[in-house]
Amino acid sequence: MANEASSSTSLTVDEEDEILMLYGSESGWVDPLSHCDHLTSLSSDLIHIPTPDTPCNRCQHPAENWLCLCCKEVLCSRFVNKHMLDHYKQNNHSIALSFSDLSVWCFSCNAYLDAQAIMPLQSVHFTAYVLKFNEPPPLRAADCIEITDNRAEGSTSGN
């Protein structure tokens, strides 16, 4: 009996899928990682990507699709036919971008990545956002820098 309890502490991928389906984004705030050891597998050209309305390359499902950031193949999510998850398992391509919400997921880390904070992901996030919304993404508060004009404060420089 003790062996059964200790072996049930780690979840299988299917059990993780069930938990995600039950709780998903409604479970609360997700804090994405600002670093990932799997970024070395990224495609060298992430500026030229398929449009967000591209169907799954395997089943042609029109929605809930992900872009593999290693080979740029578009495949459906674990909530449709799990083709992106299968792709990860078969090819060890860890990082994918969701065309639904433009989030980036690392299958190896089992975590979301902050695509706006991680330099190698910034271009693909920017490109996907423009393709999806026909405008550049808004600046995040952390990206905004307050610029002060010294003359407006009554000081002069160089005098």
Dump pLDDT digits (tens) for 89-132: 999 999 999 999 999 999 999 999 999 999 999 999 999 999 99
Of residues 28 and 74, the one with the higher pLDDT is: 74
- CB contact at 8 A, 97 and 132: no
Whole-number average pLDDT of the chain: 82
Residue 7: phi and psi, rounded to 5, are -75, -15
Of residues 7 and 110, the one with the higher pLDDT is: 110
The answer on pLDDT for 137 being more than 70 is: yes
The answer on pLDDT for 47 being more than 60 is: yes
Topology, domain 32-133 = Herpes Virus-1 (3.30.40)
For residues 93 and 106, give the distance between their C-alpha atoms in angstroms, rounded to a whole number: 9
Q: Look up the pTM and report it.
A: 0.72
Dump pLDDT digits (tens) for 14-26: 666 555 555 544 5
Q: Which of 47-51, 138-142, 148-152 has the highest mean pLDDT?
A: 47-51
For residues 125 and 119, give the distance between their C-alpha atoms in angstroms, rounded to a whole number: 10
Taking the CB of residue 52, how many other CB atoms lie within 10 A of it?
Answer: 18
- Segment 141-148 shows an average pLDDT of 53
